[in-house]
Amino acid sequence: MENPFNDDYFMKRALQEAELAFEKGEIPVGAVIVVADKIIARGHNATEMLHDVTAHAEMQSITAAANYLGSKYLKDCTLYVTLEPCQMCAGALYWSQISKVVFGARDENRGFMTMGGKLHPKTTLVSGVMAEESADLMKRFFVSRRK
């Protein structure tokens, strides 16, 4: 029997988080952190609501996962996030020593790869998972803001 838990499955859960951000007027980025095919943390952007520039989906998820595990290190964990992490989030992911990062759409302007950031040498990076769906959500958000 095929394992239903794959990158698309978990990215869909991250997209659900991004939709929640959209509904709250936040830039629609969502994230989940998974260990052993179980979601242990969820997050979405909350910078407007919290008046906190660091309240990105990744940061919310990292904190929740660390609390769940009782450890600052996220070894054997995978982050699924709808948009390429920024340099700040990449730095936090670096220090968390997360095992794998999977993102959807590239952020050509503020993504960590464009800005010269890097992940921990032991972190596996996968890009482009459900990229079109992630990018479409971002486009819908910014179109709705311009009206």
User: Which of the residues 58, 84, 108, 132 is marked catalytic?
Assistant: 58
Name the percent of the chain in helix, strand, coil, to the closest 5. Answer: 40, 20, 40
Quickly tell me which residue has 């050509």 as its tokens. 108
Annotation-wise, does 51 bind a ligand?
no
Annotation-wise, does 77 bind a ligand?
no
**Dihedral sign of CA atoms 74, 81, 67, 9 in order:** negative
Annotation-wise, does 86 bind a ligand?
yes
Note if 23 is an active site residue: no
Q: Could you give the CA distance from residue 96 to residue 90 in angstroms, rounded to a whole number?
A: 10
**30, 11 in Cβ contact below 8 A?**
no
Positions annotated as catalytic residues are: 58
Mark the binding-site residues for Zn(2+), compressed into ranges.
56, 86, 89
Mark the binding-site residues, compressed into ranges.
56, 86, 89
